[in-house]
């Protein structure tokens, strides 16, 4: 399609498989109900995705591994959205598939929170800090990231 980057929203199954799913439930986008974490991957694969008109298609919910393998030979990069709870799992998948260089991890947590939760990943991932400029301390958050991590970029939000 000629795009430089795609955004993938991550979620997790009952058996710990990282899948691509925007919503907290599968209700809107599939012919199933409830949270992905209520199902194993095998159970989720029984459901079908809905198309843009809300009609059930033949497509299944993809795993992060399946998508990364499909994108491996392409020049597109991947923005891992809603991924903070799953950084370790995503990192392992990206290493396994040889696609770590395609991925951009991101979150809206301050640097200290990132460092505390994922110290082993700090120097091994490309990271983008999401910062709401309307919140107190936004400048400090940016400064901390620039000082201690040298992020790939900043996603700056203004919600007024």
Number of domains in the chain: 1
Buried b (16+ CB within 10 A) or exposed e, 70-107: ebeeeeebbbbbbbbebbebbbebbeebebbebbbbbb
Quote the pLDDT of residue 111.
96
In a domain? residue 58: yes
Q: What are phi and psi of 92, to 5 degrees?
A: -60, -40
In a domain? residue 148: no
Is the pLDDT assigned to residue 1 strictly greater than 90?
Answer: no
pLDDT in tens, 6-29: 999 999 999 999 999 999 999 999
What value does the mean pLDDT of the chain take? 95
pLDDT in tens, 37-91: 999 999 999 999 999 999 999 999 999 999 999 999 999 999 999 999 999 999 9
In a domain? residue 124: no
In a domain? residue 126: no
Which residues constitute the domain of residue 29?
1-77
Quote the pLDDT of residue 137.
93
Quote the pLDDT of residue 65.
98
| Vertex 157: Cα angle to 154 and 159 (nearest 5) | 170
DSSP secondary structure string, 98-114? Answer: T-GGGEEEEESS-HHHH
Is the pLDDT assigned to residue 108 strictly greater than 80?
Answer: yes
In a domain? residue 109: no
pLDDT band at 2 (very low <50, low <70, confident <90, very high): confident
In a domain? residue 93: no
Average pLDDT over residues 137-151: 94
Q: 155 to each of 25, 107, 108, 144, how far by Cα in Å?
A: 26, 9, 9, 15
CB atoms within 10 A of CB 38: 14
In a domain? residue 50: yes
In a domain? residue 107: no
């Amino acid at each position: 399609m000629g795009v430089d980057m795609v955004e993938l929203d991550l979620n997790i199954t009952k058996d710990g498989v990282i899948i691509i799913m925007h919503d907290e439930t599968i209700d809107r986008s599939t012919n199933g109900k409830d949270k992905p974490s209520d199902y194993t991957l095998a159970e989720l694969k029984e459901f079908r995705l809905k198309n843009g008109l809300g009609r059930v298609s033949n497509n299944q919910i993809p795993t992060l591994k399946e998508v990364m393998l499909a994108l491996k030979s392409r020049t597109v990069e991947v923005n891992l959205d809603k991924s903070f709870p799953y950084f370790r799992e995503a990192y392992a998948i990206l290493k396994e598939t040889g696609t770590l260089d395609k991925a951009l991890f991101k979150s809206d947590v301050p640097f200290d929170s990132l460092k505390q939760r994922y110290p082993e990943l700090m120097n091994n991932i490309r990271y983008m800090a999401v910062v709401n400029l309307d919140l107190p301390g936004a400048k400090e958050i940016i400064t901390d990231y620039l000082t201690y991590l040298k992020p790939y970029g900043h996603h700056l939000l203004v919600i007024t």
